[in-house]
Chain A
Amino acid sequence: MKKVIISALLLTAVVVWIFFSYSTASPLTKKDPEGPQNTVSYAFDRGRGTDSDDSNPHPLAQSSQLNGIIFTKGLAVGQAPEGYFNDALIIGDSRIVGLQLYGGDALKDATWFAATSMGVYNYSKTTVDVEGIGKVGLEELLAKKHFTKIYVCLGINQIGYDMGDHEAKYGAFIKMLRTACPDARVVLVSNLHVAKARSDTDSAVNNPRIDELNNWLLRQQNGSSIFYIECNQLFDDESGAMAAEYTSDRTHLYAKYYPQWSAYLASNAIYQEGDGN
Chain B
Amino acid sequence: MVFSSFEFLGVFLPLFLIAYCLVWKYAKPYRNAVVFLFSIGFYAYGAITSGTPLYILLLFVSVIFNFAVGKELSRLGKREEPPKGRMKAVLAFGIVIDFGILFLFKYADFVFGVSLGLALPIGISFYTFQIVSYIIDVYRQPQLVEKSFVNLGAYIMMFPQLIAGPIVRFSTVRADLRKRVESRAMFLEGVKTFIIGLGYKVIIANQLGSTWTQANTIGFESLSVPMAWLSMVAYSFQLFFDFYGYSLMAIGLGRMMGFEFPQNFDSPYVSVSMTEFWRRWHMTLGTWFREYVYIPLGGNRLGKGRGIFNLFVVWMLTGFWHGADWNFIIWGFFLFAVIAVERLGVRDFMESHRFIGHVYMILLIPLQWMVFAVSDLKKLGALYGRLVGIGGIAVSGSDWLTELSHIWWILLIALVLSTDLGKKLYAKVKDSKLIWIPLLAVLAAVIYCLAMGLNDPFLYFRF
Contacts and interface: CB of A to CB of B under 8 A. Distances in A.
A55 B13 CA distance: 56
Interface in B85-121: 90, 93-94, 97, 101, 104, 114-119
Interface in A235-255: 247-249, 252, 254-255
Contact of B118 (A1, A8, A18, A255): A18
Interface in A140-168: none
B213 interface: yes
B54 A21 contact: yes
A133 B327 CA distance: 48
B219 interface: yes
Interface of B: 52, 54-55, 57-58, 61-62, 64-65, 67-69, 71-72, 90, 93-94, 97, 101, 104, 114-119, 213, 216-219, 221-222, 393-396, 399
Interface in A1-60: 1, 3-4, 6-8, 10-11, 14-15, 17-19, 21-25, 29
21 contacts: A1-B90, A4-B68, A6-B68, A10-B61, A11-B61, A11-B64, A11-B97, A14-B61, A17-B54, A22-B54, A22-B119, A23-B118, A24-B115, A102-B396, A249-B213, A249-B217, A254-B217, A254-B218, A255-B222, A255-B394, A259-B394
Contact of B72 (A1, A22, A102, A104): A1
Nearest to B57: A14
Given A4-B69, A10-B65, A18-B55, A104 B394 contact: yes
A106 to B, nearest CB: 12
A4 B67 CA distance: 9
Given A18-B54, A22-B119, A102-B396, 19 more contacts: A3-B68, A6-B68, A7-B65, A8-B97, A10-B61, A10-B64, A11-B62, A14-B54, A14-B58, A18-B55, A18-B118, A22-B117, A23-B118, A24-B116, A103-B394, A249-B216, A255-B222, A255-B394, A256-B394
Contact of A25 (B58, B67, B68, B114): B114
Contacts of A259: 394
B108 to A, nearest CB: 10
Contacts of A24: 115-117
Contacts of B69: 4
A31 to B, nearest CB: 10
B79 to A, nearest CB: 13
Given A7-B65, A14-B57, A249-B216, A23 B394 contact: no
A135 to B, nearest CB: 14
Main secondary structure of the interface of B (DSSP, over half): helix
B289 to A, nearest CB: 25
A98 B218 CA distance: 8
A23 B396 contact: no
Contact of B93 (A4, A19, A248, A249): A4
A101 B396 CA distance: 6
| Shortest Cβ-Cβ A-B pairs, 4 listed | A24-B117, A255-B222, A254-B219, A7-B65
A22 B127 CA distance: 21
A25 B65 contact: no
A14 B56 CA distance: 10
Contacts of A6: 68
Instruction: Give chain A's interface residue range (CB within 8 Å of chain B).
Output: 20 to 34
Nearest to A10: B61
Contacts of B115: 24-25
Nearest to B66: A7
A14 B68 CA distance: 17
A258 interface: yes
Nearest to A262: B394
Nearest to A254: B219
B54 A258 contact: no
Given A19-B118, A24-B115, A104-B394, A8 B217 contact: no
Main secondary structure of the interface of A (DSSP, over half): helix
A15 B103 CA distance: 12
A17 B83 CA distance: 35
Nearest to B98: A11
Interface string A87-108: 0000000000010011110000
A7 B117 contact: no
Contact of A4 (B65, B118, B221, B393): B65
Contacts of A104: 394
A21 B52 CA distance: 9
Nearest to B216: A248
B221 A256 contact: yes
A247 B221 CA distance: 13
A129 B233 CA distance: 27
Contacts of B395: 255
Contacts of A10: 61, 64-65
A249 B217 CA distance: 6
Nearest to B55: A18
Given A1-B72, A4-B90, A7-B64, A25 B101 contact: no
A3 B71 contact: yes
B454 to A, nearest CB: 12
Nearest to B67: A7
Contacts of A252: 217
B235 to A, nearest CB: 14
Contacts of A22: 52, 54, 117-119
A252 B62 CA distance: 42
A104 B396 CA distance: 9
Contacts of A98: 218
Contacts of B213: 249
A1 to B, nearest CB: 6
A4 B104 CA distance: 21
B222 A102 contact: yes
Given A22-B54, A22-B117, A25-B115, A4 B72 contact: yes
Contacts of A25: 114-117
Nearest to B90: A4
Contacts of B116: 19, 23-25
Contacts of A29: 117
Contact of A255 (B65, B67, B114, B219): B219
B218 A102 contact: yes
B218 to A, nearest CB: 5
A189 to B, nearest CB: 19
A102 B223 CA distance: 10
A165 B202 CA distance: 35
B396 A8 contact: no
B418 to A, nearest CB: 28
